[in-house]
Amino acid sequence: MSKINVSVVGASGYVGGELLRLLLKHPKVNLKQPTSETYAGQLLKIVHPNLRLFGIKFVALKDLEKCDVLFLCLPHGISMNQINEFKQKAQLIIDLSGDFRLNEPKLYQKWYELNHTKPSLLNKKVLGLPELYKDQLKKATLIACPGCMSTTAILGLYPLIKAGIVVEDQPIIIEAKTGSSAYGNKLTKASLHAERSGVMRSFKPTAHRHTAEIIQELTINGKKPQIHFSATAVEAVRGILATSHVFLKQGVTEADIWIIYREFVKNKPFLRIVKEQKGNFRYPEPKILIGTNVCEIGFEKDPNSNRLVVMSALDNLMKGAAGQAVQCLNITQNWEEELGLDSVGLYPI
């Protein structure tokens, strides 16, 4: 079986490590080079102990060779400045930073406090959200994977807004709870055990940059939704739970909502509707999705109003980052979408 050569730039972080884990076991991929400026020349196990069985070393960026596909796992603001060099190394670039997610250059100043240095590429990229852009991904040369919290929220809300059952002049309230791995492995005071243990901390009650992606992808037929997004840190390593409140038009029944979601998840292997009548896991639960590329979606209609509560959950390092990137890779190569991503969640954990 012939394999393609792929490399990962910025492979020493949590997302980079998760991507290495997936690529090393992918049946149609040869991991050529993982880069790290800090750990160049050292084995992967130095920062990714779960990969100690693989005798592969990090290389410096200056030693990066040509390959078929290049994954970028870099801090925001770096990919855009070096994209020309990266494009000389591979025909397909899959960027996991925020540098190409947004469609308008002016939004980068507002949400990232950056002046975008390659605005002409923003309308040439394809957003790496397969459930919305599968056909476009098949021909992409630059893929910008969306953020973990925006992915969670968008997948839960998109089918409702697309169906036109949400009241347009009512706000959509989204509260996302996330684990510590979403902040990366850079040491800060906030990441200390004494600071994280037992935490339920609102760290971005307003103006979180993922708001821009949610607004962008939920603007359908020119109708821009009123998105109010808040982010909260909880005591977990992995996982995101987004709880969204929308207001339905008169006459929409729970049966209507079921039909909309069932149609949306059809032929989408990593989406799952969860709405049980009893038990501990009646709604989506990030904990049992750890290590999977699955996004679970659940909902409950308020019997006393036209409010609908939508719950969506995923593993932020998988469907929220590395897993989604590999899903995009599979689509670009016309492989089975689930290839290398068939992990089942662990329980109990």
Q: Are 132 and 156 in contact (CB under 8 A)?
A: no
The token pair at 323 is 């897993």
315 vs 6, 18, 241, 247, CA distance in Å? 23, 11, 9, 27
Residues, the chain: 349
Q: Are 332 and 147 in contact (CB under 8 A)?
A: no
Residues 6+ apart with CB under 8 A from 157: 172, 174, 214, 218, 244, 246, 310
Catalytic member of 145, 148, 295, 328: 148
Q: Are 37 and 11 in contact (CB under 8 A)?
A: no
CB count within 10 Å of CB 56 equals 16
- 148 a catalytic residue: yes
Of the CA atoms within 13 Å of residue 108, those in its CB half-sphere come to 19
Q: Looking at the annotation, which residues are catalytic?
A: 148
